[in-house]
A and B are shown apart, each in its own frame.
Chain A
Amino acid sequence: MEYAIEVQGLTKHYPGFTLDHVSFSVPAGSIVGFIGENGAGKSTTIKALLRLIRPEEGEISLLGKKDGAAFREIKEQIGAAFDESYFPDNLRIKDVDRIMRSIFKTWESDKFLSYCRRFELPGKKTVKEFSRGMKMKLSIAAALSHQTKLLILDEATSGLDPVVRSEILDIFQEFIQEEDHTVFLSSHITSDIERIADYILLIHKGRILLFEDKDTLLYEYGIVRCTREQADRLDQKQVVGRRENQFETEVLVKNVRELQEKPGLVVDRASLEDILLFTVKNGMEEKRR
């Protein structure tokens, strides 16, 4: 299998936070959703991928090239977008086009302008007059317009209304139609990830907790709603996390099919959000113990 991103033992220390030997591989041609709570290490990992920070340990390969080898050339094929647009306020669309044409050897003006028309971005207005959604669309149009093979997105859909988010997610799904195109998308909006991702990468407190095929994850995980006594009787190897209230106990379990036939247990499908919440909560409790 070819990988668009390979990370081995990535480590970076900050006061109060450590990105701790993070390792994962993103298969080429897939969409990987990178989830975790605020401060879990998603942005730090992405910054390390893009060489915006210098890791203390670890190896990173992007599009098959290791540790900064020909990184400038590799960046010709990488599109990045963050949680806000970083184009200076005074620029217009035609300025952005002119600037990018001078920066990228592979810049595709026609494609960029066609995305801008499709997103209904006003050509006569400056970036400062754009709404937040328009600014994000401009960033994404730029990220997609230079024969891009790998899209790296850090919370690029956060803070946008559902209509704009849906429109942008559609674009990512179109982008992935090419076999060698890959999207690595960090977000804490799990519904977005659930909608488009092929794989889920979950990080918590600087450590990778799981990397799994999304369908397998959603198929194998379930929520058992039962009494506290029933929860205690469950095979603890299957239990990922539990949550109790005065009426019932909810238990997130792996290999949920084994429990579906058991009488007296209500087993529901687990959403990505449930998996995130239970896994993170379990991680926190284990740390407390």
Chain B
Amino acid sequence: MKGLLVKDLCNLRQVARQSLIVVAVLAAWCFFLGDSQLFSMMSIIYSLMLLFTAVSYDEMAQFNKYALTLPVTRKDLVRSKYVLMLFLFLAGIVTGLVGKAVLGILIGDAGSVSLAEQGFSLLSVACIYLLAFDIFLPVIFRLGIEKARLFLALIFVVVSGVLFGAVTLVRNSGIEITSGMVFAAVGAGAALTAAGLLISYFLSLRVMQKKEW
């Protein structure tokens, strides 16, 4: 699996320069909007999107077919993509937090919202992104990135819609949202994301075990 990750990182090295430009533009945009939280959220999604780039390179070269002629198993192919996804997720969070801290100082909104609140807000958004990617990966393994692209936007809209709907429903029902409820909701979201990750991994494995080249 190490070799597969090295291959993905070699591939992603090609988009490193573009990524730096994107992050710089994003930072400038958030600076002018005066919203450092937006930067952290966008950097997580951008980082996760690099997973699609890595999968695209593999598919263009039909690398998976070749990889299976090497001492690599189907399980390795699946596992390496999940490890890459988590790596990109963490890289996105670190970039987001660092960028947010710097922008917070520049904009002067560093102390306007409590750190705990910012952390929860970021965690909840990160959970939504990761949950969406948990759904994306088995679809990508099943259909390939080109066909899967059509479904990706739909999945994102559905996941966001369900969460937004749930929040609206709670608000309209007249229930007062307490900080305890927010804690519980974010905790449940994190647990759901972790469970989703496991289910997603086993689904992808199942798809890959049945796949023929």
Chain A contact residues, CB within 8 Å of chain B: 47, 50-54, 72-73, 75-76, 78, 80, 82, 84-91, 95, 98-105, 152
Contact = CB atoms under 8 A, between A and B. Distances in A.
A104 B71 contact: yes
Contact of A89 (B13, B61, B68, B69): B61
Q: Which 6 A-B pairs have the closest CB atoms?
A: A86-B66, A103-B3, A102-B3, A80-B69, A52-B213, A88-B61
Interface stretch (B4-12, B134-142, B181-189): B4-12
A87 B61 contact: yes
B212 A52 contact: yes
B121 interface: no
Interface of B: 2-4, 6-7, 10-11, 13-14, 57-58, 60-63, 65-66, 68-73, 212-213
Contacts of B14: 90
B57 A89 contact: yes
Main SS of the interface on chain A? Answer: loop
B71 A76 contact: yes
Nearest to A95: B10
B10 A99 contact: yes
A50 B70 CA distance: 9
A52 B68 contact: yes
Contacts of A85: 61
Contacts of A73: 71
Nearest to A104: B71
A102 B13 CA distance: 18
Given A52-B212, A54-B212, A98-B10, A90 B70 contact: no
A84 B61 CA distance: 9
Given A52-B65, A52-B68, A52-B213, A102 B11 contact: no
A183 to B, nearest CB: 15
Given A50-B68, A72-B71, A88-B7, 10 more contacts: A47-B213, A50-B69, A52-B212, A72-B72, A78-B69, A86-B61, A86-B65, A88-B60, A90-B11, A100-B3
A89 B58 CA distance: 9
B58 to A, nearest CB: 7
A277 to B, nearest CB: 30
